[in-house]
Structure formats: structure tokens, C-alpha cells
Chains A and B, each alone.
Chain A
Amino acid sequence: MISLENISIQQGSFSASRLNLTIEKGTHICLMGETGCGKTTLMEIICGLRSIQHGKVLLNGIDHTQSSPAQRNIGYLPQDGVLFPAMTVSGQIALPLKARHWEKEKIHNRVEEIAQLLKISSLLDRLPSDLSGGERQRLALARAISFKPEILCLDEPFSALDDQTKHELIAVLRDLKVQNKTTIFHISHHKEEVHLLSDKILFMRNGALENAPKN
């Protein structure tokens, strides 16, 4: 569950004040809005990558306003993936597991499992520079979900993907929500994607959040 209480932020020309948002556990919320309206800033606030002037960020009922990104335990997939250029595919999937001190064998099994789920098993030894756009996106999602986070933040995860890859990844996200009760906060510009996945749609305009009808 994600709760934002009276969030205020001033970032360059963007400002928002007294933003409130609650995303219940196991729901998939999609956030839409024009480019530059502050969607990514809001997601970075939740992930702890941006500090706020005022307000509280609660994750599963615990105040994480002052927590570092590492302490928030959120699976984050930024807009362009931000893969680690010098690390192999398997290394990137295993990194969050090593950070959580998983046993070696469990890490190995989990990497295999996730790679199979996202159809990147044959790419485990490759570097990001040797991957196509779709493969990079699959890897970014694999890395974000490998440690079984309860909250997932996705910033335009399917942009520039072919239809087949997009539908495969949409199926993965649906399974995560149903099977693991993962709370998903998802930024998108694509109406089709939003209608297929979301339980609720929000629209961001002038630094404020509005409910948008699903149809």
C-alpha cells in the first residue's frame, strides 16, 4: 500500500502542494498526464530519489519519508531502464538479491526463474550493449521484480516495444498483481495499456491529481 499525505515539492519550474494519494495493496494504478507535468517526479518521491519540502510518504503503513531508496524495498523501473553498462544480464538480476544477502543457490535459482518468465534465459551472459530495445526492457523489468517487492513503480515500461513483447510483459504484470498481491504504480501515455491493466486511472494536471474515468 502506498500513501502520500500532503506532499509539497518545488523542483525548478514544477511545483505541487498538498498532494494526497492512496493506492491500496494489490491494486494497479495508472497515472497519465502531459509530458513535463510531474508524473516522474511523483514516482521518484515515492521511490525516495527526490526529497520533499513537506508531507509524508507511507509504504505499507510505515513512514518512509526519511528512508533511503534502498530501505523502501520498491521495485523501480525508470523510463529508459537505466541498466548497468558493465554488468551482465544475470549480474543485474542477481544484484538486488545479493544486496538482500540471499544465499548463493537461492540467487541462482531465482535468476533462472525470472529469466525464464521474461524469456531472457539465453541472454544471461550478455552485456546491455548487446541487447535489443525489447530485451533491455525485459531485463529492466526482471531486475525490478527479482526480489519480489510488494510495491512496483513503473515509468512508461512499454514505450517503444513491439506489440508481442508488450502483451507478454502485460501478462507478467497481471500475474504479479493476482498471485503476489503486488501494488503497482504505473506511468503511461498509452490508453490501451492503461485500460488493460489499471484498476484506477489518475490524471496529473497543474501539480494536482484527478481521478479519470476508465472509459
Chain B
Amino acid sequence: MSHTPSHRDRLFRGSLVTFSLLYLALLVALLLGNVSYTSPSHLWEALKTREILASIRLSLLSSTLSALLSMLVALPLGYYLARTRTKWKILISTIVDIPILLPPLVIGISLLIFFQTSAGKFLESGFQSLFGRGFTYDIPGVILAQFTVAAAFTIRTMEVSFSRVDPRIEHMASSLGCSWSRTFFSVVLPQVKGGMLTAFTLGWARALGEFGPLLVFAGATRMKTEVLPTTIFLELSVGNIEAAVAVSFIMIFVAVTSLLLLRHFNREPLP
């Protein structure tokens, strides 16, 4: 049976729709503004530049590596946070959230300071002797800065995914004779495939857009530690607004496309 909503109900629903539409309109306006400010020729010009091509290459490579490294810590830590009942969980969760809560520049400064300590110097020299490159103001620094922030998002996403897996399933696998590792890899992980895809994509998108910590810790050296957000900053600082907008457009395109693909192929809700 249907009934006519009262005046108060109509007003309430109307206000909900209005506020939602206003926010969506703001985001769409931002995107359209970018599109209207650039043109295919600007984009083409930008894409032909050696610096921007190198920046795109490093951005894609470093974001992918950062996201993979993030998954490496997100799987064990996300699982632990989803399952543990220890009183330390609040403390561990807070530590994990630090990169989400802190201003990006503070993370960059913290990384810079850490690599001035004896532990940091030891790590830096060890890494340099192994791979021929250090962290500070170099490419590994780009990856480390991206990883530090992206990992927090991937850990949180994996925690949500693991918490949706019924713990009785793990008990069942154990009663069937499975070791803990077999239970984890054969029974638990296949159930969080969607969550892993979501976590990786979010980590990757987050790493791609990272700027603050990179600027402080890895620097903004053209053709060396320059990633797409750095390019926007450098182009803006020399007044080349067209190039900055063209690179912004590339970033928006990549971010929107990856999220659309993720939502199309994965039914797991984003956190």
C-alpha cells in the first residue's frame, strides 16, 4: 500500500537530495573545469615533453612498487588487526593510522630526520651498498615516502576484508588437518581476493597522488625524483599553467579510470 508523504517528509527528503547533489555537482564541476581548461593539443604537447614522460614513467613504476610493498605488510597486519582481541589493538591501530592523520609534510620531515639518526644512516648505507642508491633525495626515497602513506590505507582495507571472513571457517580448516599457513593461503586468502584488489588499487592511487612527503624527503629534481604531482608543482612554479593542467588531467583520468575499473570488476565495497 502506498501513501502520500507528508509535507515534513517531502522537505526532509528534498534536503537530503539537495545536499547530496550539491556535493556531487562540486566534484563534477572541478573535473569539467580541468577538462575545459586543457585541450588535446595541450595534452599532446605535455606528453611529448621528455621531463613529463620521465615523470609518468617514474610515477607508474614507483606507485606500483609502493602498492605491492603495501600489500606485503597489509596482509599480515590487516589479518592480525581483524582477528586479535588483545588490549594492544587500540595502540597498534593508532600507529597504523598515523600516516592518514598526520599532515603529509610532517611525514616527509619525519623520514628526513629518521635518516639522519644512526639507525637511518646504517639503513641508508646498507641499501646503497646493495643497490647503488640511497633513500634521501633519490628514487628509493620516492618509493619509501609513497609506501609509508599508501600502506596505512591498504592495511585498513585488508582489515575490513578479513573481518568479514567467518572465523569458524578457519577452525573448520584446522579440524580438517590444515596447518595455519595452508588455512591462510588456501581458505582465507581466496575469500578476500576482492578486498586485495581494492586494497592494491587504493594503495596505488594513493601513492600516485602523493606529494608532500616526496617533496621534503625525495626532493623535486627534474628527471630524477620527479613524479606527476611534482611535475604539476614545478610547472606551476614557473608559470606554465597549461602544462600543469594537462598533467592534472592525466592524473584525474588515471584515478577515475582505475576506480571505475575497480568498481566494474570487483563487488567488494570500498572502505
Q: A-side interface residues toward B, CB under 8 Å? A: 47-49, 68-70, 72-74, 76, 78, 82, 84-87, 95-96, 98-100, 143-144, 147
Contact = CB atoms under 8 A, between A and B. Distances in A.
A47 B176 CA distance: 10
A70 B168 contact: no
A68 B174 contact: yes
5 contacts: A49-B174, A84-B173, A84-B190, A85-B191, A95-B176
B175 interface: yes
A82 B172 contact: yes
B187 interface: yes
A49 B171 CA distance: 7
Given A86-B191, A87-B187, A70 B172 contact: no
A73 B173 contact: no
A78 B168 contact: yes
B179 interface: yes
Interface in B136-192: 166, 168-169, 171-179, 182, 186-187, 190-191
Contacts of A49: 171, 174-175
Nearest to A44: B171
B85 to A, nearest CB: 15
B177 A76 contact: no
B89 interface: no
B175 A48 contact: yes
**Majority secondary structure of chain B interface residues (helix, strand, loop or mixed):** helix
Contacts of A69: 171, 174-175
A87 B190 contact: yes
A201 B171 CA distance: 28
Contacts of B168: 78, 82
Nearest to B165: A85
A86 B195 CA distance: 13
B165 to A, nearest CB: 9
Interface of B: 166, 168-169, 171-179, 182, 186-187, 190-191, 193
A17 B193 CA distance: 44
Nearest to B177: A99
B175 A99 contact: no
Nearest to B187: A84
Given A86-B191, A87-B190, A95-B186, A70 B169 contact: no
Contacts of A72: 175
Nearest to B182: A99
B189 to A, nearest CB: 9
Contacts of B174: 49, 68-70
Contacts of A74: 175
A70 B175 contact: yes
B182 A98 contact: yes
Contacts of A82: 166, 168-169, 171-172
B190 A95 contact: no
B179 A70 contact: yes
Contacts of A78: 168, 172
Nearest to A50: B171
A114 to B, nearest CB: 13
A70 B178 CA distance: 6
Given A82-B172, A98-B182, A99-B177, 7 more contacts: A47-B175, A69-B175, A70-B174, A76-B172, A78-B172, A86-B187, A147-B176
B175 A84 contact: no
A86 B171 contact: no
A95 B186 CA distance: 9
A54 B107 CA distance: 52
Contact of A84 (B169, B179, B193): B169
A72 B176 CA distance: 9
Given A78-B168, A84-B169, A96 B176 contact: yes
B91 to A, nearest CB: 27
Given A82-B168, A84-B169, A96 B190 contact: no
Nearest to A74: B175
A84 B179 CA distance: 16
Contact of A99 (B169, B179, B193): B179
A86 B190 contact: yes
B177 A100 contact: yes
